[in-house]
Amino acid sequence: MAVLNYLRTALIHHKHTLMMEVLKGHGLRYASLLHQEAYIGGKWVSAASGKLFPVTNPANSKVIASVPDMEVTDTEAAINSAYEAFQTWQTTTARERSLLLRNWYNLMEQHKEDLALIVTAEAGKPLSESRGEIGYGSSFLEWFSEEAKRIYGEVAQSPASSKELFFLRQPIGVASMITPWNFPNAMITRKAGAALAAGCTCVIKPAEDTPLSALAAVDLAEKAGFPPGVINVVTTSRANTPAVGKLMCTSPKVAGISFTGSTAIGRVLYEQCASGIKRIGLELGGNAPFIVFSSADVKSAVEGLMVAKFRNSGQACISANRILVQEEIYDKFSEALEEAVRKRLTVGDGFNKEVNIGPLININQLKRVERIVNESVAAGAGVVLGGKCHDMGDLFFQPTILCNVTEDMACFQEEIFGPVIALKKFKCEEEAVNIANASKFGLACYFYSQDVSQVWRVARRLESGMIGINEGLISTAEGAFGGVKQSGIGREGSRHGIDDYTYLKYICLGGIN
Which residue in the set 25, 225, 242, 380 belongs to the binding site for ligand ADP (CB under 6 A)? 242
For ligand ADP, the closer of residues 261 and 281 by Cβ is 261
* Smallest distance from ligand ADP to CB 271, Å: 11
* Torsion sign, CA atoms 316, 317, 322, 323: negative
For ligand ADP, the closer of residues 487 and 502 by Cβ is 487
Report which residue type is found at 250: T
Q: What are the backbone angles phi and psi of residue 169, rounded to the nearest 5°?
A: -105, 115
Which residue in the set 72, 165, 268, 307 belongs to the binding site for ligand ADP (CB under 6 A)? 268
Q: Which span sits near ligand ADP by CB under 6 A: 108-116, 187-195, 260-268, 391-399?
A: 260-268
Which residues make Cβ contacts (< 8 Å) with residue 303, sequence separation at least 6? 472
* Smallest distance from ligand ADP to CB 245, Å: 2
For ligand ADP, the closer of residues 241 and 374 by Cβ is 241
222 binds ligand ADP (CB under 6 A): no
Contact (Cβ atoms closer than 8 angstroms) between residue 68 and residue 45: yes
200 classed as catalytic: no
- Cα separation, 93 vs 109, whole angstroms: 25
For ligand ADP, the closer of residues 189 and 449 by Cβ is 189
Which of the residues 307 through 366 are near ligand ADP (CB under 6 A)?
none
Give the largest CA-CA distance in the chain.
82
Would strands 441-442 and 400-403 be described as parallel, antiparallel, or unpaired? unpaired
* Smallest distance from ligand ADP to CB 180, Å: 4
* Smallest distance from ligand ADP to CB 283, Å: 10
Length of the chain: 513
250 binds ligand ADP (CB under 6 A): no
Which residue in the set 158, 262, 454, 470 belongs to the binding site for ligand ADP (CB under 6 A)? 262
SS3 503: strand
For ligand ADP, the closer of residues 242 and 382 by Cβ is 242
* Smallest distance from ligand ADP to CB 373, Å: 18
- Cα separation, 391 vs 235, whole angstroms: 32
SS3 472: coil
Catalytic residue among 122, 283, 429, 492: 283
Q: Which span sits near ligand ADP by CB under 6 A: 193-201, 262-270, 384-392, 481-489?
A: 262-270
* Smallest distance from ligand ADP to CB 416, Å: 12
Q: Which span sits near ligand ADP by CB under 6 A: 136-144, 203-211, 482-490, 500-508?
A: 203-211
Give the nearest residue (CB) to ligand ADP: 245
245 binds ligand ADP (CB under 6 A): yes
For ligand ADP, the closer of residues 147 and 492 by Cβ is 492
142 binds ligand ADP (CB under 6 A): no
Contact (Cβ atoms closer than 8 angstroms) between residue 89 and residue 201: yes
- Strand residues in 245-349 grouped as ranges (E): 254-260, 279-283, 288-292, 320-326
Q: DSSP labels for 1-64?
A: -HHHHHHHHHHHHHHHHHHHHHHHHTT---GGG---SEEETTEEE--TT--EEEEEETTTTEEE
Catalytic residue among 249, 273, 317, 403: 317
Q: Which span sits near ligand ADP by CB under 6 A: 16-24, 94-102, 216-224, 241-249?
A: 241-249
For ligand ADP, the closer of residues 262 and 470 by Cβ is 262
Which residues make Cβ contacts (< 8 Å) with residue 111, sequence separation at least 6? 29, 30, 33, 216, 220
443 binds ligand ADP (CB under 6 A): no
27 binds ligand ADP (CB under 6 A): no
DSSP code of residue 150 = G
Q: Taking the chain, what is the end-to-end CA distance rounded to the nearest angstrom?
A: 70
Binding mask 163-182 for ligand ADP (x = CB under 6 A): ---------------xxx--
Q: What are the backbone angles phi and psi of residue 29, rounded to the nearest 5°?
A: -100, -40
- Cα separation, 83 vs 356, whole angstroms: 43
SS3 468: strand
For ligand ADP, the closer of residues 147 and 415 by Cβ is 415
User: How many binding residues for ligand ADP (CB under 6 A)?
Assistant: 13
Q: Which span sits near ligand ADP by CB under 6 A: 63-71, 259-267, 431-439, 482-490?
A: 259-267
For ligand ADP, the closer of residues 325 and 410 by Cβ is 410
208 binds ligand ADP (CB under 6 A): yes
SS3 462: coil
Helices (H), 49-199: 72-89, 94-110, 112-123, 127-147, 186-198
DSSP code of residue 151 = -
Helices (H), 199-240: 211-224
- Cα separation, 477 vs 64, whole angstroms: 31
* Smallest distance from ligand ADP to CB 258, Å: 12
492 classed as catalytic: no
261 binds ligand ADP (CB under 6 A): yes
* Smallest distance from ligand ADP to CB 148, Å: 26
For ligand ADP, the closer of residues 151 and 255 by Cβ is 255
Q: Which span sits near ligand ADP by CB under 6 A: 205-213, 302-310, 467-475, 489-497?
A: 205-213
- Return the bridge partners of 347, or none: 357
User: Which residues belong to the active site?
Assistant: 283, 317
Binding residues for ligand ADP (CB under 6 A): 178-180, 205, 207-208, 241-242, 245, 261-262, 265, 268
